Amino acid sequence: MKNNVLIIGGGPAGLEAASGLQRLGYNVILIERTTMLGGHLASWDRLFPDGASATGALDGLLARMDGVKCFTDTEVQSINRLEKSYNVILSNGITVLADAVLVASGFDLFKAERKEEYGYGIYDHVITNADLEAWFASGSDTRIDSPNKIGFVHCVGSRDEKSGCRSCSKVCCATAVKQACEMKQAFPDAQIYCFYMDLRMFGRHYEDLYLGAQKEYGVRFIRGRVAEVSENVDGSLLVKAEDTVAGKPLKVTLDLLVLMAGMRPSAAGRRVGGLLQMPVEEDGFFAVRDGILSGQRSQLPGLFLAGAATGPKTLPETLADARGAVTEIDRYLSDVFPNAKNYKTLVRERW
Amino acid sequence: MKNNVLIIGGGPAGLEAASGLQRLGYNVILIERTTMLGGHLASWDRLFPDGASATGALDGLLARMDGVKCFTDTEVQSINRLEKSYNVILSNGITVLADAVLVASGFDLFKAERKEEYGYGIYDHVITNADLEAWFASGSDTRIDSPNKIGFVHCVGSRDEKSGCRSCSKVCCATAVKQACEMKQAFPDAQIYCFYMDLRMFGRHYEDLYLGAQKEYGVRFIRGRVAEVSENVDGSLLVKAEDTVAGKPLKVTLDLLVLMAGMRPSAAGRRVGGLLQMPVEEDGFFAVRDGILSGQRSQLPGLFLAGAATGPKTLPETLADARGAVTEIDRYLSDVFPNAKNYKTLVRERW
């Protein structure tokens, strides 16, 4: 008998772990709450730092999924520990006896309307990073109307004790700089401002992206928090900020303001975590057993974690984390079920 | 016949990949240039963000190495592509016919003496992050003599076009903040200054570390580059910096200055890369085939990369990267050598 592995979540982490486990010979069942695989990646346009196509990356992940049983529109209804396995009843009527469960429940974007002072959902020309990405992909959003002056607010729902979101979301700085460059390409006459606290361009090629934004695109980086946004009678936005480098307050009138909403624990993930009684940390993301040697084991036997379920991650980090989960699950199952018959699946690829 | 995999480099990336490949049934040969396994981790004391023991982490990696053939004091002498494999002659007289080669050659620390204006190797009380870590581990360094005023300079050999090191080294900010807190624990009366450009505390719990440094330890963070260091007649250091937030130049007299030397491509790695004709990028680190979907394939068949050989990484990132390399190598070998007999090794662990 092969071991069954249940993967909860069909975003990049779930997909990458599914294909890896399938190749190692496990019987993999992946469930996705929504109608579509891909998670947030499916609604993104281009990826930092090189502008790679998000669709291309997702296609790459989906192309490896041969043999994995995927159920979309499916959630966990109940879950019970039975000796060494978990009996999981799914909302589609199927029951799985899972020898290991991987929670890859991802993240929700911070709800930008919670920061009332920025006016999302109130003023016409205030949008989020996700809205802008959807516009890059579709070209349609009435709020984006040939803007001449565009602002990006970093750290919306990140590094913000008042919102109960103390930690950094890690990906917003690089996303903002990428989107700023793309807006300058779309509107060559526009002047673009980024309001930031610390520019966290830490990854390979990120610094090039940042220098290019300044030199090639003339993006103006202003170190300071936006204090308040209000709407003028003509629909333009009056933004008040503190320029901490110039040491004085600053007012600027903009045609479009983009809020870089941070990564928050997924509400659906929290629900599943509750069914599994899986501990969360103060930051709201799931606790791991060892943050250095293994960030993919939960504190409970047979339950594993991958991707943004354990905190903000870039896409390559999420995929690496998923591969780590494959290793951990394989180790666990080989040990706990030494007599199971899991044969490697050969996958032909071009090299 | 099992497939042979040669791993070049016995730091964390090499060790983690070796144990993973061994478990999947491959015949793994790991070579390490120096006398000791562990790379930089072996000379580190504690790890950010939680102060975990570096020795403990290394022991965890070494404990999984059963069955791997390790040769220390060993380098590659020559390497030739033979049809589908590589014929590798090692400096210890052994020849390996490797079906896959993983380059896990790590990094060198930036040579701080190259930044003459900081006076490393000239003034008595200027040390590096690595020197300080060695002192934490050993307690012995004559340059550290009950300092009352201590400064940390971030970005030494990082984000510095003049030194030919444009990119961010990713780990120095968190290391500096960790070391600043540890120095305050060691010298409770000391005043500590960190000179930074952007505080890149991007990972899980890093923000807590940063807030704790300010609130609990009273570390003063000054945003600006150190322009010049000189030595007073009593051996103390006069540091001139620009405080870009206060908008004025600043002078401070310190008893100890710690330079956060960045991560640079390993010279030994470059040598091996040359033998393999493996392309490097403008930043001096090895080029990968696809930075999003796979950061572990090189641009050449059968040659793989893991860890800091492809750019600065934290320890957990390095380990995740190594696990990704295991997946990639397993995929490659299953495809190119479908008739090889690689049987999984069972490893008993406590769960």
Q: Judge whether A345 lies within some domain.
A: no
Q: Which residues of chain B neighbour A349 with C-beta distances below 8 Å?
A: 331, 335
| DSSP of A305-331 | E-GGGGS---HHHHHHHHHHHHHHHHH
Q: Judge whether B99 lies within some domain.
A: yes
Label residue B170 by pLDDT band (50, 70, 90). very high
Q: Judge whether B284 lies within some domain.
A: yes
Q: Which residues of chain A neighbour B293 with C-beta distances below 8 Å?
A: 57, 60-61, 319
B274 shares its domain with B258 = no
Query: CA distances (Å), A194 to each of A38, A153, A224, B200, B298, in order?
Result: 29, 6, 9, 17, 35
Report the pLDDT value the prediction gives residue A340, as an integer from 0 to 100.
87
Tell me the ipTM for this assembly.
0.90
Residue type at B258? V
B115 shares its domain with B241 = yes
A299 shares its domain with A166 = no
CATH number where B166 lies: 3.50.50.60
Q: Which residues of chain B neighbour A331 with C-beta distances below 8 Å?
A: 23, 347, 349
Q: Which residues of chain A neighbour B323 with C-beta distances below 8 Å?
A: 320, 323-324, 326-327
Taking only the tens place, the pLDDT of each residue in B257-294 is: 999 999 999 999 999 999 999 999 999 999 999 889 88
Q: Which residues of chain B neighbour A346 with C-beta distances below 8 Å?
A: 334-335, 338
Q: Over pLDDT 90: what percentage of chain B? A: 91
Q: Judge whether B351 lies within some domain.
A: no
Q: Which residues of B315-339 are buried (b: 16+ CB within 10 A; e: fewer)?
A: bbbbbbbbbbbbbbbbbbbbebbee
Structure token pair of residue B301: 């068949």
Report the pLDDT value the prediction gives residue A294, as an integer from 0 to 100.
84
Per-residue pLDDT at B16 exceeds 80: yes
Per-residue pLDDT at A324 exceeds 50: yes
Picking from A52, A291, A336, the nearest residue to B316 by CB comes out as A291
First-to-last alpha carbon distance for chain B, in angstroms, is 32
With beta carbons less than 8 A apart as the criterion, state whether B289 and B299 touch.
yes
A158 shares its domain with A34 = no
Write down which residue in B218, B235, B263 finishes a domain.
B263
- Within 10 Å of residue A56's Cβ, how many Cβ atoms? 13
Report the pLDDT value the prediction gives residue B336, as an integer from 0 to 100.
94
When pLDDT is averaged across residues B328-349 and rounded to a whole number, the result is: 79
Q: Judge whether A351 lies within some domain.
A: no
Per-residue pLDDT at A351 exceeds 90: no
Picking from A47, A292, A315, the nearest residue to B316 by CB comes out as A292
Task: Give the alpha-carbon dihedral of A114, A117, A123, A126, to 10 degrees.
Answer: -80
When pLDDT is averaged across residues A91-111 and rounded to a whole number, the result is: 97
* Interchain proximity B247–A247, CB inside 8 Å: yes
Query: Domain containing B313: what range?
Result: 4-106+266-336
Picking from B207, B301, B335, the nearest residue to A167 by CB comes out as B207
Per-residue pLDDT at A348 exceeds 90: no
* Location of structure tokens 């963000």: B49
Query: Any residues with CB less than 8 A from the CB of B11 and at least 6 apart, and which?
Result: B37, B38, B39, B40, B41, B104, B106, B307, B308, B318
Report the pLDDT value the prediction gives residue A344, as an integer from 0 to 100.
65
With beta carbons less than 8 A apart as the criterion, state whether A209 and A181 touch.
yes
Q: Over pLDDT 90: what percentage of chain A? A: 90
Per-residue pLDDT at A305 exceeds 90: yes
B126 shares its domain with B223 = yes
* Interchain proximity B291–A60, CB inside 8 Å: no
Q: Judge whether B341 lies within some domain.
A: no
Label residue B344 by pLDDT band (50, 70, 90). low
Per-residue pLDDT at B332 exceeds 80: yes
Q: Judge whether B347 lies within some domain.
A: no
Structure token pair of residue B327: 């997946």
* Location of structure tokens 């991650």: A313
Write down which residue in A262, A279, A297 finishes a domain.
A262
Label residue B135 by pLDDT band (50, 70, 90). very high
Per-residue pLDDT at A65 exceeds 60: yes
Taking only the tens place, the pLDDT of each residue in B36-91 is: 999 999 999 999 999 999 999 999 999 999 999 999 999 999 999 999 999 999 99
- Beta-bridge mates of residue B82: B85
Across the A:B interface, residue pairs with CB atoms under 8 Å apart total 161
Mutation site for A-interface testing, chosen from B65, B170, B178, B202 by largest number of A Cβ within 10 Å: B202
Report the pLDDT value the prediction gives residue B1, as an integer from 0 to 100.
82
Report the pLDDT value the prediction gives residue B351, as an integer from 0 to 100.
43
Report the pLDDT value the prediction gives residue B348, as an integer from 0 to 100.
46
Query: Any residues with CB less than 8 A from the CB of A134 and at least 6 apart, and which?
Result: A43, A45, A141
* Interchain proximity B317–A319, CB inside 8 Å: no
Report the pLDDT value the prediction gives residue B347, as an integer from 0 to 100.
45
* Interchain proximity A338–B346, CB inside 8 Å: yes
Report the pLDDT value the prediction gives residue B17, as an integer from 0 to 100.
97
Mutation site for B-interface testing, chosen from A293, A298, A305 by largest number of B Cβ within 10 Å: A293
Report the pLDDT value the prediction gives residue B246, as an integer from 0 to 100.
87
Q: Which residues of chain B neighbour A246 with C-beta distances below 8 Å?
A: 247
Query: Any residues with CB less than 8 A from the CB of A272 and at least 6 apart, and which?
Result: A8, A75, A76, A103, A105
* Location of structure tokens 């939680």: B50
When pLDDT is averaged across residues A72-94 and rounded to a whole number, the result is: 96
* Interchain proximity B292–A320, CB inside 8 Å: no
* Interchain proximity A200–B203, CB inside 8 Å: no
With beta carbons less than 8 A apart as the criterion, state whether A112 and A157 touch.
yes
Taking only the tens place, the pLDDT of each residue in B173-212 is: 999 999 999 999 999 999 999 999 999 999 999 999 999 9
Report the pLDDT value the prediction gives residue B341, as an integer from 0 to 100.
81
Q: Which residues of chain B neighbour A170 with C-beta distances below 8 Å?
A: 202-203
With beta carbons less than 8 A apart as the criterion, state whether B159 and B135 touch.
no
Instruction: Return d(Cα A103, Cα A76) in angstroms, integer.
Output: 11
Mutation site for B-interface testing, chosen from A81, A204, A205, A339 by largest number of B Cβ within 10 Å: A204
Domains held by chain B: number: 2
* Interchain proximity A207–B327, CB inside 8 Å: no
With beta carbons less than 8 A apart as the criterion, state whether A256 and A243 touch.
no
A14 shares its domain with A42 = yes
B25 shares its domain with B42 = yes
Mutation site for A-interface testing, chosen from B323, B328, B341 by largest number of A Cβ within 10 Å: B323
Q: Looking at residue A346, what DSSP letter applies?
A: P
A132 shares its domain with A174 = yes
Report the pLDDT value the prediction gives residue A57, as an integer from 0 to 100.
97
Report the pLDDT value the prediction gives residue B342, as an integer from 0 to 100.
80
Taking only the tens place, the pLDDT of each residue in B319-331 is: 999 999 999 999 9
* Interchain proximity A292–B347, CB inside 8 Å: no
